[in-house]
Amino acid sequence: MSTPSPFPAELAARRWPWSLPLVASALAGLWFTFAVAQRLPYPHELEWMEGALVDHASRIADGLPLYCEPGPEHVPFLYAPLLFWLGGLGMKLGIDGLLALRLIATGFSLGCGMLIGHWVRRESGDLRAGLVASGTFLAGYGWLAWWYDLARNDSLFVFGCLATAYQLRHGGHRRWLWAALLATLAVLAKQSALMWLPAIAVGALIHDPRTAWRFAATALPLGAAVFGAMHWCSDGWSTFYLFEMPRHHGIDGSRKLGYWTEDVQPMLPLLLLGLAAVLPTCRAGRWREALFLAAFGSGGLLASWFSRLHVGGFDNVMMYGFAAACVLGPLAAVGPARWLRRCGPWLLLVQFLWLGERAWQRGPATLLPTAAHRQAHEQLEAFVAAQPGPVWIPAHGRISHHAGKGTGAHGQAIFDLLQLLPKVDGIGMDITVLHDPARLAQLPGRGGEAVRALMTRADAALRERHFAAIVIDEAGGTSQFPYVFAAGLIGDDLVPNTNDDPYVRSPAPLLREPAAIRPLLGFDVHSPYALVRR
């Protein structure tokens, strides 16, 4: 049951402090709509992994396995499959892959904003607080690296966790069943849900123990059945990519404390409001509600923190804690503490200004692509389309498949897999192992099997000149490609430019402006050149 605000008369008498946050919410919504209208139909990558995720979805559309032995044509990402399943369905229906995945991400981002606003309105009985809550989430678009409309899975997972918590708090008679289904979908969207859902379950146990136990008794076997079926159907590869490989990612020590002193700063007003409201809400006799919300919010923050600790954890992972804070902050501004009701609207206005300043700092160069960016992609696509066979482009996904030239493993997926190699000084991976058959054979377990499979299959494909061309970026995340796959590219002697090399570097430049192809976000990869088969 919802808990209407016990202060309707006071809120009605103090309308004007909410006017500015409401205006800011409207502006955030308009800005989000304008930006998405420009970005959504853009036919090329905005972020360096978007195209590779489209390639994954294309495997679903083409009836190919998603999690399988790695090879030069496909190395699976360590991402859960729900986005790819939905994107593959969209592609089967005739939607362009990049557009299909962006539509999914944008739709669920809007769904997050709407659910946050509905939750706050229902919890508080105040429509203005609900509208401001939705607007605050949309205002985080720039701070969170314009992530809401990218072909990525974060908004899908965040919506699943928000909806699970909402069901356990405000759902109907069978809310435990719906919450269990939503929790399973959240994990299928991104494994990070496993860091948030336990906190939500603890909050539910405090709020309504009977519902919480039913939820746990349904969600745990349901999740085990789904992932067990995936394990069986993929010969164990799904479990390897989703749960074993992430454990080998390095830890960014600077974020252990930096997360709390730097990363959370742009949402500090929301966090202060939410934290300050816990004790007054408990004193008002609503301690179960207060502790449920505290557990929900803490889970989101911790999920963001643990994700930020992983090497490569980008600004997008802050979305988890931010979404939870967008529920807690506006609720506190209409809660039982009079001083919070007085200063709450002003703190929310500060929150909008802070988020706007962070979006301004990020700048338009990361938001809207230039004409040169479009032209560079078109020139590369023309080169790929002219090739007489498959083309492998490890730094730019989708292009080869879109031109009917197959797919190639993406550089990030290869890098993730090579994290299984022994470490140098306990930090960097020792890629010299790749050219030492004895040491390569000693790599243990399924991880060793995966690395050996990639190297063996890539070596054979390159020696046999399976690819008509390989496009490598001179600068950025795939510049080491020629060394990693040197045995296949230049033979066992590892001496380049000999007559028996399967591939030779094309002297003709691929792009008029080589640096223009760099993505707006992600690794700064650019200046591609081509290795064409001899």
**Helix, strand, or coil (residue 475):** strand
Could you tell me if 185 and 149 are in contact, meaning their C-beta atoms sit under 8 angstroms apart? no
Could you tell me if 91 and 61 are in contact, meaning their C-beta atoms sit under 8 angstroms apart? yes
Indicate whether 441 pLDDT > 90. yes
Q: Sorting pLDDT into bands at 50, 70 and 90, what band is 13?
A: very low
**Percent of the chain, pLDDT > 90?**
80
Please give the pLDDT value at position 489: 84
CA–CA dist 503, 411 (Å, integer): 19
Nearest residue to 423 via CA among 521, 509, 311: 311
Name the H helices within 263-335: 268-283, 287-309, 319-333
Domain boundaries, the chain: 15-44+78-366, 371-533
User: Regarding beta strands 503-505 and 428-429, do their DSSP bridges make them parallel or antiparallel, or are they unpaired?
Assistant: unpaired
The arithmetic mean of pLDDT across residues 446-463, rounded, is 95
Q: Counting Cβ atoms within 10 Å, is residue 209 exposed (0-12), middle (13-18) or buried (19+)?
A: exposed
Confidence at residue 475, expressed as pLDDT on a 0 to 100 scale? 85
- Mean pLDDT of the 268-286 span: 93
Rounded average pLDDT over 68-88: 97
Give dist(CA 187, CA 401) in Å, integer. Answer: 28
Average pLDDT over residues 351-373: 94
415-439 pLDDT, tens digit each: 999 999 988 765 578 888 998 899 9
> What distances in angstroms separate CA 196 from CA 1, 303, 441, 474, one per listed residue?
24, 6, 39, 40
List the single range of 216-230, 419-433, 516-530 with lowest mean pLDDT.
419-433
Q: What is the pLDDT of residue 321?
A: 97
CA distance 391 to 424: 33
The model's pTM is: 0.93
Q: What is the 8-class DSSP label of residue 469?
A: E
Tell which phi-psi region holds residue 491, choosing left (phi > 0), alpha (psi between -120 and 50) or beta.
left
DSSP 34: H
Q: Which two tokens stand for residue 228?
A: 């067990």
Bin 498: left if φ > 0, else alpha if -120 < ψ < 50, else beta. Answer: beta
d(CA 156, CA 36): 17
CA 241 to CA 147: how far, in whole Å? Answer: 24
Mapping DSSP to helix (H, G, I), strand (E, B) and coil, where does residue 142 land?
A: coil
Question: What Cα–Cα distance (Å) separates residue 509 from each residue in 383, 503, 528?
Answer: 10, 16, 8
Question: What is the model's pLDDT at position 11?
Answer: 45
Contacts of 322 (CB under 8 A, 6+ apart): 137, 140, 144, 267, 270, 300, 304
pLDDT (0 to 100) of residue 78: 94
pLDDT classification of 17: cutoffs 50, 70, 90: confident
- Residue 266 tokens, joined: 């742009």
Of 80-84, 367-371, 475-479, the least confident? 475-479
Q: Is the model's pLDDT at 60 over the cut of 50?
A: yes
pLDDT at 347: 96
**Mean pLDDT, to the nearest integer, of 345-359?**
96
pLDDT at 2: 46
Q: How confident is the model at residue 310 (pLDDT cuts 50, 70, 90)?
A: confident
pLDDT at 247: 86
Is residue 401 very low, low, confident or very high in pLDDT (cuts 50, 70, 90)?
very high
Q: Which of 382, 409, 376 is nearest to 478 (CA)?
A: 409
What is the residue type of 173? H
Q: What is the average pLDDT across 97-124?
A: 97
Share of the chain above pLDDT 70, in %: 95
Confidence of residue 494 (pLDDT cuts 50, 70, 90): low
Mind giving me the DSSP string for 393-443?
-TTS-SHHHHTTS-----HHHHHHHHTTSPEETTTEE-GGGGG-HHHHHT-
Q: Which of 82-96, 205-219, 411-425 has the lowest mean pLDDT?
A: 411-425
- Which whole number is the average pLDDT over 484-507? 76
Average pLDDT over residues 278-282: 90
